[in-house]
């Protein structure tokens, strides 16, 4: 339990622990200053890209077109932050320049630097209970230790994204037009092939076509009547006795029988054609249905080709969905990172707190009775005589050794800082940015 119950006892305890507290505060302040000097100032530059809708909209545009726009923006964002694009931009603006040629960054390290420096976010109508809509702006934020380089990085990424979007839209329109041209040519060839097949089928089955069945039935009835008449004539010749000779009558009967055979042959052909009529009608309907489907597909492809051709014209005239520069990035005047002075101040304050904590712990682990008041509080005994402590004159070697140890620790800390930070501590520009402007001037 601590014996501190008054201000005098508190000040006495602080005086007793002052050497260790001073050492901790001194070392903490030195380390805080070195840490603050080692921190880089970060600057942020922001570029804004506006997503413009098509100046001439298609009449069927709706939710499907909105979803397609969302996917297109996502694809543009992915390509803006692709490895090849980031590495090319980084090389262009000098993001990977190092003073020591032996410390050249590899591909992975360069990508990490670029991805940490670039952030792209969307600005869209994100109201609650509303379907996701296409963003109307893209915000590109670049963060580096150089304000000019940060602005250049944001602008280069923005311009690369705009060019990528334009090339993507134009390529998509050209690919769609080429696809519909090929599809239309394929359907035309298929329709011509089916029409030729239909013509051959009609020619080979002209008598069994549905349009000819009625005429065939009429013809069959007429042939049946003709055959009946021939039979009647033959019967009359066979039963009627005339003055003609039998030889002449037999010739007439033979002639009538030949006529009847021809009629019966024709009747058999007509009956066969009528019997095949349902199958012919089914096959004919199938071919015509296939031709109809092909023609419907052809009309759809022609309509879509017209839309693709219009989209290509709009892309060529820069009147479709596009990205435009809304705000270019400019070099920042102020750093977004914490100032070195505040870092050093916080470090010094923490050093003081740590020193007080160490002093408190030292007093807590050594609760000696040092005054008459503490003796009376602890034991309830009132001392009769209080003999003050008379310190002998020290030779001075102990204090000198303590001072030498503190100086050695300080020198070791400074040497370690120089070893760690290199020649940056000798840079006048670094100290000018850390010190007040009036002092630096």
pLDDT along the chain (441 residues), means of 10: 61 77 84 78 87 52 54 80 86 73 74 88 64 70 89 89 79 84 90 87 71 69 75 71 64 76 75 70 82 90 84 64 79 79 85 85 70 62 62 53 58 57 52 48 44
CA distances from 111 to 79, 88, 158 (A): 14, 11, 18
- CATH H superfamily, domain 43-180+319-327: EIF_2_alpha (3.30.70.1130)
Give residue 409's pLDDT. 60
Give residue 126's pLDDT. 57
Give residue 108's pLDDT. 87
**b/e for 204-243, b at 16 or more Cβ within 10 A?**
ebebbbeebbeebeebbeebeebbeebeebbeebeeeeee
Distance CA 314, CA 307 (A): 10
Contact in structure between 143 and 58 (CB atoms under 8 Å): no
Distance CA 173, CA 310 (A): 9
Residues 164-171: contacts with CB under 8 Å, at least 24 apart = 164/76, 164/79, 164/80, 164/85, 165/72, 165/76, 165/322, 165/323, 166/315, 166/318, 166/322, 166/323, 168/72, 168/75, 168/76, 168/79, 169/72, 169/315, 169/320, 169/321, 169/322, 170/312, 170/315, 170/316
Phi-psi bin for 82: left (phi > 0), alpha (psi -120 to 50), beta? beta
């Amino acid at each position: 339990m601590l014996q501190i119950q008054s201000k005098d006892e508190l000040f006495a305890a602080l005086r007793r622990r002052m050497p260790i507290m001073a050492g901790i505060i001194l070392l903490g302040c030195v380390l805080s200053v070195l840490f603050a000097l080692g921190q880089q100032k970060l600057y942020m530059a922001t570029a804004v890209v506006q997503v413009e809708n098509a100046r001439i909209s298609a009449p069927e545009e709706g939710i499907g077109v909105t979803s397609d726009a969302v996917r297109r923006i996502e694809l543009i964002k992915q390509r803006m932050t692709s490895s090849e694009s980031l590495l090319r931009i980084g090389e262009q603006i000098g993001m990977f320049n190092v003073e020591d040629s032996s410390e050249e960054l590899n591909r992975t390290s360069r990508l990490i630097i670029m991805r940490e420096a670039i952030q792209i976010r969307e600005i869209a109508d994100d109201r609650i209970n509303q379907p996701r809509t296409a963003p109307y702006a893209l915000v590109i934020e670049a963060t580096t230790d150089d304000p000019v380089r940060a602005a250049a990085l944001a602008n280069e990424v923005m311009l690369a994204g705009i060019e990528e979007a334009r090339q993507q839209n134009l390529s998509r329109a050209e690919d769609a037009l080429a696809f519909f041209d090929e599809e239309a040519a394929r359907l035309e060839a298929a329709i011509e092939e089916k029409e030729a097949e239909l013509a051959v089928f009609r020619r080979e089955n002209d008598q069994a076509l549905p349009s000819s069945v009625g005429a065939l039935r009429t013809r069959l009835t007429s042939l049946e009547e003709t055959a009946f008449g021939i039979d009647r004539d033959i019967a009359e010749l066979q039963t009627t006795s005339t003055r003609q000779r039998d030889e002449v009558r037999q010739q007439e009967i033979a002639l009538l029988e030949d006529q009847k055979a021809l009629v019966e042959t024709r009747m058999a052909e007509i009956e066969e054609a009528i019997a095949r009529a349902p199958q012919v009608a089914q096959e004919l309907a199938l071919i015509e249905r296939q031709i109809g489907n092909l023609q419907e597909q052809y009309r759809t492809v022609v309509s879509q080709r017209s839309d693709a051709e219009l989209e290509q014209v709009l892309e060529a005239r820069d009147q479709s969905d596009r990205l435009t520069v809304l705000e270019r990035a400019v070099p920042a005047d102020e750093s977004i990172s914490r100032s070195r002075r505040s870092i050093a101040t916080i470090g010094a304050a923490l050093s003081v707190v740590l020193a007080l904590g160490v002093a408190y712990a030292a007093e807590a682990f050594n609760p000696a009775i040092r005054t008459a008041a503490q003796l009376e509080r602890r034991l309830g005994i009132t001392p009769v005589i209080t003999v003050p402590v008379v310190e002998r004159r020290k030779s001075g070697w102990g204090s000198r050794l303590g001072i030498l140890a503190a100086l050695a620790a300080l020198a070791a800390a400074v040497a370690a800082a120089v070893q760690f930070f290199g020649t940056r501590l000798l840079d006048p520009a670094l100290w000018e940015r850390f010190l007040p402007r009036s002092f630096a001037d």
